Amino acid sequence: MSRRGLPERVVAEVERLAGQLVDLAEMGIDVTAIGDGPRPGVTGGVRRLPVLEDGFMLVLPLPRLRLVAVTYICPPFADL
């Protein structure tokens, strides 16, 4: 186990993915369209991104605030 009750490999992957989202946003890429949103084909809102084998995380990109908020992490089934 690790900090925040999540295995280190899950924490490392979430941090890596969040860092990539920040890097993409800094390059001017619209991160509000990455992953699956509340409505297919529509940008904005909370986005669902895969984490490792079968986990996922929910992120809320807020470009005007220059913020990518990780709102929920569901680790892979093997790590539950």
What ranges in the chain are assigned the alpha helix state H? 8-26
pTM: 0.85
Mean pLDDT of all residues in the chain? 89
Instruction: Compute CA 60 distance to the chain's CA centroid, rounded to the nearest angstrom.
Output: 8
Selected residue with higher pLDDT from 26 and 3: 26
At 35, list the tokens.
């992953």
pLDDT at 2 over 80: no
Say yes or no to pLDDT of 3 above 60: no
